[in-house]
Amino acid sequence: MSLDPPAPQPAPGPAAGTLASPPASGAPGAPPGASAADAGPPPAGTPVSPRVRDSWRRTRGVFGVLAIMVVLAAVTVLIASPRPGGRLDSEATTPVGAHALAQLLRDQGVEVRPAGTVEKARELATPDSLLLVGRTEFLADSTLMAELAEVPGDRLLIEPVTQALQALAPGVSAGALTDVESREPGCDLPAALRAGTAMTGGVSYNGPAGSRSCYGGSVIAFHAAGRQITVVGSGDFMTNERLAGDGNAALAMNLAGARPAVVWLVPGLPQTSGARREGEATLTDLIPPGVNWAFLQLFIAVALVAVWRARRLGPVVAERLPVVVRAAETVEGRGRLYRSRRARDRAAAALRAATLDRIIPRLGLTGDATPAGVVAAVAMRTPLDSHQAGALLYGAAPDDDAGLVALARHLDILERQVRDS
C-alpha cells in the first residue's frame, strides 16, 4: 500500500465527493480539498516592496508635518520661554534675573557690557565705565579680588561678601541684617532722593567718613581714590520681579546708569584664578586635535556597521501555531493537589481501588464481591492472613507520607503474589 500523491487529481465527481474545507483555518473562497493544491499555472512572483518614490510619496506628509512642528516649537521656544540664568544675570528673564534693568539701561543710552569672568571685565572696563559686581561669593579668591581691584572706573557692589567688601570697598564694614522692605531714602544722595521709596534692606553697612548712608544703611556711597563706590545690601530691587515696584527702577537706573557704560560682572559659576603657570598642561591639552575628530569618524563607522547588521534580509515570518497542551497536565495537577494538601486518605483510596480492580478478576470474583469475600480470597492465595489483608486493602488511611509509600509498596507486593499464585 503506497501513498504516492496522485499527480493529476481527478475532479471530484459524483463517485468521489470530497469535502475538506476547515471553516476555521481555511482561507475564505479557497477551492476545497485536494484540488486546491493542483489548480492553476505556475505562479509568477509579484514585487511587494514599495518603490523609493512610493515610499517617499507615502511618508512625505509625515516628514512635512514633523518639519512644521519642529519650526513652530523652535520659534515658540525662542520667543516665549524664559532665558535661564542666575540671579541678577543681565540676560536672564527669570524673576530673579536682571534682563529688564539691562534693557532699560540700553534704552536710555547706557552701554551694557556683560562680562562672565574677571578677565573679561578687565578687558571691557574703561575709566569712564561703571563696574557692577554681583554674586561675589563666586569670586572669593584673593587673586581674583586683587585683579578686580585694579579695574578702573566707578564701582557698584551688590550684596558683596566680606572678602569682596574689603578688597573693593575699603573702609566699609557690614552691620546688622535687616528685612527687605519699602524704605524712605533718608539721606541726601541725589540718586536716592530722585528715586524715593524703594525695596531695600539686607545687610546694612557702616561707611567710612564722608560716606552717605541711605535706606537705613543698606545703600552706602562714597568717594575713594578718585572713584565713586556704591555698596548695596540687597539686589532685590534690581530683579525683574521687583523692578516695577516703588522707586526700584529709578534707584537701580540711577545707580547703574551713572556712567555711559556699565560692565556687568555677575558670574553664574564659581571662578578661579585663571592664570595657569607656564609649562603645566592638562591631559586634554596634550591630545592632538585630530583625535577627537577621529573618534567622531569611528562613531560614524560604528553607526554604519549597525545599519549593516540591522538590515534584515526580508521580513520576520509569523505563524499561527497550535496550542501545546500536555494531556497529562490535569493528572499532574491532581497529584500536586494531593501532595500540597497531604491528602493521604484520597491517595490511599485511589491506590487501593486500582489494586482491587486488578486483582478481583484474578481472584475469580466479580465486581460486586464484598470486602470480606475479597479478603478471604486474598488470604487464601497469599502468605498474608485475613487480618493483614483486610488492613492492607480496606484499612485506615496511613498517618504519614512514609506510611503511604509503604502502603503503595505492599499493594504492589500483594498484586504480584496474587498474579503469581
Partner 1 sequence: MALTGRTGLLAALGAIVVLFAPQPAVAVLGVLALLTALVVADLLLAGGVRPLRLERSGERRVRLGDAVEVTLTVTNPGPRRVRGLIRDAWSPSARALPRQQSLDVPAGERRRVVTTLTPSRRGERESAVVTVRSLGPLGLAARQGSHAVPWTIRVLPPFLSRSHLPAKLSRLRELEGRHPVLIRGQGTEFDSLREYVAGDDVRSIDWRATARRNDVVVRTWRPERDRRVLIVLDTSRTSAGRVGVDPASGDPSGWPRLDWSMDAALLLAALAARAGDRVDFLAHDRTVRAWVSGASRTELLSVLVNAMAPIEAELVEADSEGMVAAVMARAAHRCLVVLLTDLNPAALEEGLLPVLPQLASRHLVLLAAVSDPRVAAMAEGRDTAEQVYDAAAAEHLRGARRRMTARLRRHGVEVVDALPDQIAPALADAYLALKAAGRL
Kindly identify the residues of this chain, within the stretch 50-79, that bind partner 1 according to CB under 8 A: 51
Question: Pick from 175, 224, 338, 379: which binds partner 1 (CB under 8 A)?
Answer: 338
Nearest distance from C-beta of residue 341 to partner 1, angstroms: 10
By C-beta, is 45 or 210 nearer to partner 1?
A: 45
By C-beta, is 8 or 210 nearer to partner 1?
A: 8
Nearest distance from C-beta of residue 55 to partner 1, angstroms: 11
Distance CA(356)–CA(394), nearest Å, equals: 10
**How many residues in the chain?**
421
Distance CA(125)–CA(263), nearest Å, equals: 6
By C-beta, is 123 or 332 nearer to partner 1?
A: 332
Question: Pick from 8, 226, 317, 370: which binds partner 1 (CB under 8 A)?
Answer: 317
Where does this chain touch partner 1 (CB under 8 A) — which range of 60-68, 194-202, 332-340, 382-390?
Answer: 332-340
By C-beta, is 22 or 226 nearer to partner 1?
A: 22
Judge residue 337's burial from the number of C-beta atoms within 10 Å of its C-beta, 0-12 exposed, 13-18 middle, 19 or more buried: exposed
Distance CA(399)–CA(348), nearest Å, equals: 11
Q: Provide the H-helix boundaries in 244-288.
A: 248-256, 283-286
Distance CA(185)–CA(193), nearest Å, equals: 6
Binding mask 20-39 for partner 1 (x = CB under 8 A): xxxxxxx------xx-xxx-
Distance CA(265)–CA(269), nearest Å, equals: 12
**Sites for partner 1 among residues 276-305 (CB under 8 A):** 288-298, 300-302, 304-305
By C-beta, is 70 or 296 nearer to partner 1?
A: 296
Where does this chain touch partner 1 (CB under 8 A) — which range of 142-150, 238-246, 346-354, 369-377?
Answer: 346-354
Nearest distance from C-beta of residue 316 to partner 1, angstroms: 9
**Sites for partner 1 among residues 391-410 (CB under 8 A):** 401-402, 404-405, 408-409
Using only the alpha carbons of the chain, give its radius of gyration. Answer: 49
Q: For residue 236, what are the contacts with CB-CB under 8 A and spacing of at least 6? A: 180, 199, 200, 201, 202, 242
By C-beta, is 276 or 358 nearer to partner 1?
A: 358
**Sites for partner 1 among residues 189-248 (CB under 8 A):** none
Query: Residue 131: which of 231, 202, 201, 225 has the closest Cα?
Result: 231
Nearest distance from C-beta of residue 269 to partner 1, angstroms: 28
Integer angstrom CA distances of residue 385 from 367, 382, 392: 22, 8, 11
**Per CB under 8 A, 3 contacts partner 1:** yes
Nearest distance from C-beta of residue 9 to partner 1, angstroms: 8
Nearest distance from C-beta of residue 210 to partner 1, angstroms: 59
Nearest distance from C-beta of residue 405 to partner 1, angstroms: 5
- In terms of C-beta distances under 8 Å and separation of at least 24 residues, what long-range contacts does 143-151 make, across chains too? 143/273, 143/275, 144/118, 144/271, 144/272, 144/273, 147/118, 147/119, 147/122, 147/273, 148/118, 148/121, 148/122, 148/265, 150/122, 151/121, 151/122, 151/125, 151/263
